[in-house]
Amino acid sequence: MNPILKDQLRRLEETHINIEVRKSKEKLADILADDFFEIGSSGRMFDIEECLRAGVAIAEMEIHHYEIHPLAPDVVLATYFLTDKTRNRNTLRNSIWKWIDGRWQLYFHQGTITDMKLSEVETSRFT
């Protein structure tokens, strides 16, 4: 695994969940690929237009156990556990990042609500 790439994508992922970025359509659009889509924790699907028009959840969130899994030279799957302090819930997350136009862009994202606690994740097969 490439630790530099892992750090770079984690920083981008942290930017994606940053409250100030999530409030800004311009900053959010800069992270998302033009053909971005998401399966939200609600089970609904969203495309980039809907995310930018309707907005995304504004919440204080923290990433734990971030891992990357290269799928191709220009495509990486990222997996992690997210604690959402605002909505008092945890989710398992995955993102697909693609190298497009000379930079990494978020192509796909999914969040699944879980009853797991951070302490359970630290001792599970997830890590």
Residue 27 reports pLDDT greater than 70 = yes
Token reading at 27: 């900053």
108 domain-assigned: yes
3-state SS, residue 119: helix
Q: What's the domain count of the chain?
A: 1
10 domain-assigned: yes
Give pLDDT, residue 54. 78
Residue 29 reports pLDDT greater than 90 = yes
What is the share, in percent, of the chain residues with pLDDT greater than 90?
76
127 domain-assigned: no
Instruction: Note down the domain range covering 41.
Output: 3-122
The helix/strand count (H/E) of the chain reads as 5, 6
66 domain-assigned: yes
Edge-to-edge strand ranges of the sheet holding 103-114:
45-47, 32-39, 103-114, 89-100, 75-84, 61-72
- Separation of alpha carbons 34 and 54, rounded Å: 16
Give pLDDT, residue 42. 86
From 74, 126, 64, 123, select the one nearest 96 (Cα to Cα): 74
Residue 125 reports pLDDT greater than 70 = no
20 domain-assigned: yes
Look up the pTM and report it. Answer: 0.92
Task: CATH number of the domain at 79, please.
Answer: 3.10.450.50
